[in-house]
A = this chain, B = another copy of it.
Amino acid sequence: MSRNVFDNPSFFSKYMELRKDYNHNDLLEHPEMERLCPSLKGKRVIDLGCGYGSYAKSFIEKGASYYLGIDASENMIRKAESENEGDNIEYRVMNLDDLGSIEGNFDLAYSSLVFHYIEDFDKLLRDIHSILNDGGILLFSQMHPIISASYAYSGYFEGDYFAFSSYQEEGRREGHWFKQKVISYHRKMSSIINSLSSAGFMIEKISEPIPTSEAIRELPALEKDLTRPTFLIVRARKINI
């Protein structure tokens, strides 16, 4: 995603409007991220693409000793600093491409729905590896490759069938959100896994979450996730290579 898309005032306000209601992220992605999250007791956490820091306080409440949220958008970080501040919580405006400049020793690198906006995934993983302590955990979610594959839109349903194109063709995709062009990068499932392994991560758990019937009652559109996954979630452990 362009580093400035959330610094466009009209885009930002529309995005915030959208976040008021329960959505896919709240009902499907976030519960699964919580389920896969390791114990946070005494852990130093970095949140990659933290947005307005909506989970910062809950990390500290669950025992994290320090939380650093980084995001490329000044708007987001300003909102985070005014709404989600607290002891042992810090924020920094920073593009994920510059992660290598951060001083290390984190126990958990957490990232929610941001990695599909990053062009150079291998560099990102190397940078994360370098700021994690030995045995540190990377927990991230991203658009599922089945969703990120198609050029024209993110695939379509025809009855019970879901149709996608261009899965085997990795790279840049242009979409639109509130009339703003949004760039993402499609990577195959196999590429994501091979990149993790090359960068020195061992996959502990991988998930293509399915909504609960309770979540579907809350948001009927989630029924589609009984057919095809929207999210890919990975918990991986740093190993020395």
Q: How far is the CB of A153 from chain B (nearest CB, A)?
A: 11
Question: Which residues of B have CB within 8 Å of A82?
Answer: none
A163 touches B166 (CB 8 A): no
Partner of A227, one of B155, B165, B204, B205: B165
B164 touches A208 (CB 8 A): no
Question: Which residues of B have CB within 8 Å of A202?
Answer: 202
- Interface size on A (CB < 8 Å)? 35
B227 touches A208 (CB 8 A): no
A167 touches B203 (CB 8 A): no
Number of copies: 2
Which residues in chain A, 189-232, are within 8 Å of chain B measured between CB atoms? 189-190, 193-194, 197, 202-208, 210, 225-229, 232
A161 touches B163 (CB 8 A): yes
Question: Which residues of B have CB within 8 Å of A188?
Answer: 208, 229
Question: Which residues of B have CB within 8 Å of A166?
Answer: 160, 227
A228 touches B197 (CB 8 A): no
Q: A164-B228, A189-B206 are in contact. List 17 more A-B contacts (CB 8 A).
A: A158-B163, A160-B165, A161-B163, A161-B165, A162-B167, A163-B163, A167-B208, A167-B227, A168-B210, A168-B225, A168-B226, A168-B227, A169-B226, A190-B232, A193-B193, A194-B205, A197-B205
What are 6 A-B residue pairs whose CB atoms fall within 8 Å in the complex?
Answer: A156-B161, A160-B165, A189-B206, A190-B232, A194-B205, A197-B205
